[in-house]
Structure 1
């Protein structure tokens, strides 16, 4: 077997800092949250003319509710037997989480916020949050990749790579180059690593497209349409429960819970595209307001400098 194409199994941390233990996953998530909230604050100021503090409080509400719901979803969808053993497991939000559950929780949190804030620009606020989302998810998935908590199926006979080798020749490595050599001796797909790559390009996408005004609601439909197909396909590479002694993903009608959510996400993206595709370009209120203030100061300066009338 030619293992030249297999990435080595690496692991970063944990680090002992006196009585504290610092984990790479938690550190990565913390960095992602901080950067996402900072981006949301500056984005809100620039586009909506809303203070950064208000936008970041909005983001914290989405984050906290989404995190709690991500745990509830993970238990209900992936490990329902735990509820029978201990119903209080639903409230142990420091336990296992599901990223798609967090997305659903974020949507629910936004709907609650919208009901309590009926006079705000709901499209503008949610669009700013969607713009910031890839940053948080990219660092979250980096954390997953550092601890390899999403081991996938055996990549030895990965159909995609076998097809590429049949076209370009067997001089290519025998094993899929992005596979990791797991401690059990099997080259496996690392789903956290794969998703980190996708979210990296989505971060580039939002920063590239976000340099100028887009149609209202632009990120509310583009991000679901871009992300959902990857998540749907990636989950075919996950291990089944108990496979090779690993904690795999439960299937419902041959699909994982995340795949069903990805289908719903894609449909939602299509609906929002239909809803917002003819919307006008955003008016960047913060930028326009700053221009007006600058123009006013300049005009006032000229008036002050003008000689008195004779």
Structure 2
């Protein structure tokens, strides 16, 4: 049976300033977005992007991820607390980010960018979504380094069973952060990157992201320990699963719409 390595959450310090691994993982995700986005923009003119647009898009995307992720966590997971103590919303350094909220924030950022740059929204979305899973990948690695968001209790004989000292019960659990990093991150990136290599009907790549992320997150939630302050919700599903269902529905709807558009 494995034991979580108990990494130091602080990567390094410069004087009084400490840089955390979790923050570095976000920076790695943003850097990869810029690098791969610039590569594709230069390589394929049909994407209607260039290096300058990628940089501008990254700026708005960062705002969308941070603001949307934070507000999503506050409203989706602990609305009563944050509505009672709204000043706590800005304390992002205390932790609390929602991937679903971050996705909503990025959608809003893309809507603004597409409108101000006169780009079709779905053309822009199809450019953006293959670059998103790597950010999810490194975000989940950050969760693992912090020893947080661990999985549900499992058999000690399971090959990946792991003890998380932060979980006071000391029981073996699934390292669900790594499951999410593999499915929502690496696997989804490979699928979307390959599928989007050639022109597709606008909206199809974005639809595949919604379906892929929604399904992967829904499945992994069966192995992830629900938040202690929420527990399981209706029908025995977690909050993360309920938030993933609309993404799956949107993915199906957009895929069908794009398929019919291609026939017309």
Matches within 5 A, 1:74-85: 74-85=73-84
Matches within 5 A, 1:55-74: 55-74=54-73
Match in the other structure for 1:261: 243
Between 28-37 and 92-101, the greater mean CA deviation after superposition: 92-101
Does 2:24 correspond to 1:27?
Answer: yes
Q: Quickly say closer, same or farther: Cα 1:251–1:112, change in 2 above 3 A.
A: farther
Does 2:145 correspond to 1:146?
Answer: yes
Match in the other structure for 2:97: 97
How far apart, in 2, do the equivalents of 1:197 and 1:7 lie?
19
Larger relative CO (CA 8 A, sep 6+): 1 or 2?
1
Structure 2 residue matching 1:17: 3-state secondary structure:
strand
Does 2:158 correspond to 1:176?
Answer: yes
Deviations 1:208-260 (A, max 9, x none): 33443334333211122122122112223333454xxxxx5454424333212
Q: Quickly say closer, same or farther: Cα 1:229–1:67, change in 2 above 3 A.
A: same
Q: Count the aligned residue pairs.
A: 253
Q: 2:36 aligns with which of 20, 36, 39?
A: 39
Does 2:185 correspond to 1:193?
Answer: no
Match in the other structure for 1:51: 50
- Structure 1, unmatched stretches of 5+, are 1-5, 157-173, 243-247, 281-310
How far apart, in 2, do the equivalents of 1:222 and 1:85 lie?
38
Match in the other structure for 1:7: 2
How far apart, in 1, do the equivalents of 2:84 and 2:12 lie?
34
Report the CA distance between 1:263 and its aligned residue.
Answer: 0.4
Match in the other structure for 2:111: 111
> Does the 8 Å CA contact 1:29/1:139 hold for their aligned counterparts?
yes
How far apart, in 2, do the equivalents of 1:241 and 1:62 lie?
27
- For normalisation by structure 1, the TM-score amounts to 0.73
Does 2:213 correspond to 1:216?
Answer: no
> Does the 8 Å CA contact 1:40/1:59 hold for their aligned counterparts?
no
- For normalisation by structure 2, the TM-score amounts to 0.84
> Does the 8 Å CA contact 1:238/1:249 hold for their aligned counterparts?
no
Matches within 5 A, 1:267-306: 267-278=249-260
How far apart, in 2, do the equivalents of 1:61 and 1:36 lie?
13
How far apart, in 2, do the equivalents of 1:212 and 1:97 lie?
34
